[in-house]
Chain A
Amino acid sequence: MALPEPESRQSYLVFACGSSWYAVPAESAAEVVTFPELTRVPGAPAHLLGVFAHRSEVIPVVDMSLLVGGVSAGSRRAVLVRLSRGTLALTASTVAGVSSVAGVLEPLGPSGVHVHLRGPGKSGARDVAVIDIEGLFDHLSQGG
């Protein structure tokens, strides 16, 4: 289902992972961190790089490039996205800041993680994919 507004008034945190740009709702983006050495989780898929402890919470780190089938960006920085069900760290090689995203935001694919990436969106001159955070969380929770 397409998100309704062609020119969203919502604010997003825009960041890059590798050569691709992503956006998450600004109210979900808690902070940007440099994460320490990670602990691998037994049975984890490759895109789940590991976990680290942050303020007494165990936070999983997801490499967005690997998740969409690309090559790891190798970044040690991540955007922490906070939901009621927990926190996710999404690797970020560059953080552009908070801005609006224009465009009719429809799923970028029929299945897999691309269902939870919406676009084509524009943030300034950048092509960005808006991450449906709740959907991504469900996808990851199902082992995706």
Chain B
Amino acid sequence: MGPASRVEGTLLCRAGAHRIAFAAHEVAFIASAERESTARTWSARRAFREAASESRGRVLVAPSGESVGVDALELDADTHSVLPPPHVTATLSGGSLRGFILVRGALWPLLGLADFEHYLRGLDAEAT
């Protein structure tokens, strides 16, 4: 296992009952789900085989334009060590898994926003 890297500033998100996190610097802006409703937004819930929520959530938009919907989020300004992902999880979610951060005693999968959106989009293509 290699040395842990660090991440300063994260968005801690909920997708259904599940936790995911993104580095804050990978998020250009945050929009309400309603505002983004005209564009196709990919719900993070799909990575957990759950249907998108009917409730209002938030949409994280990457600088390159990719967008992912989550149910709830909070900004964490602390710096966290990024624990390397286990080898067997490396190819899951399209390789978007950067590692895990430990926040308040719980592990949060740290994902690359643009890569995660590509993965979610691929799920949609597989389903059709």
Contact A48 B89 (CB under 8 A): yes
Which of the residues B84, B93, B99 comes within 8 Å of A42, measured between beta carbons? B93
Q: Please indicate which of the listed interface residues A51, A59, A142 has the most CB atoms of chain B within 10 Å of its own CB.
A: A51
Q: Mark B32-46, 1 if CB is under 8 A from A, else 0.
A: 000000000000100
Across the interface, do A57 and B92 meet the contact criterion of CB distance under 8 Å?
no
Assuming the A-B contacts A42-B109, A43-B47, A43-B94, are A137 and B87 also in contact, with contact meaning beta carbons closer than 8 angstroms in the complex?
Answer: yes
A8 to chain B, nearest CB (A): 27
Query: Which chain B positions have C-beta within 8 A of A69?
Result: none
Selected contact of B87 from candidates A39, A48, A52, A85, CB within 8 Å: A85
Q: Does B18 contact A (CB under 8 A)?
A: yes
Contact B84 A58 (CB under 8 A): yes
**Could you tell me the distance between the alpha carbons of A140 and B96 in the complex, rounded to whole angstroms?**
17
Chain B interface size, under 10 / 10 to 19 / 20 to 34 / 35 or more = 20 to 34
Chain B interface mostly: mixed
Chain B residues in 8 Å Cβ range of A87: 86
Shortest distance between the CB of B112 and any CB in chain A (Å): 11
**Residue in B closest to A45 when the chains form the complex, CB atoms:** B92
Closest to A59 in B: B86
Q: Mark A76-102, 1 if CB is under 8 A from B, else 0.
A: 000000000111100000000000000
Q: Which residues of B contact A (CB under 8 A)?
A: 1, 15, 18-20, 44, 47-48, 83-94, 96-97, 99-100, 102, 106-109, 111, 116, 119
- Which of chain A's residues has its CB closest to B116's CB? A42
- Cβ–Cβ < 8 Å partners of B108 in chain A: 39
With A52-B107, A143-B92: A42-B87 Cβ-Cβ less than 8 Å: no
Check if A42 sits within 8 Å of B97, measured CB to CB.
yes
Contact of B20 among A42, A58, A142 (CB under 8 A): A42
Q: Is A114 an interface residue (CB 8 A)?
A: no
CB A48 to nearest CB in B, in angstroms, measures 7
* Central interface residue in A42, A53, A59, A137, by most chain B CB within 10 Å: A42
Closest to A42 in B: B47
- Considering the chains assembled together, what is the distance between the CA atoms of A43 and B44 in angstroms? 10
Q: A56-B83, A58-B100 are in contact. Are A39 and B109 (CB under 8 A)?
A: yes
Contact of B83 with A44 in the complex, beta carbons under 8 Å = no
Chain A residues, CB < 8 A from B89: 41, 44, 48, 51, 60
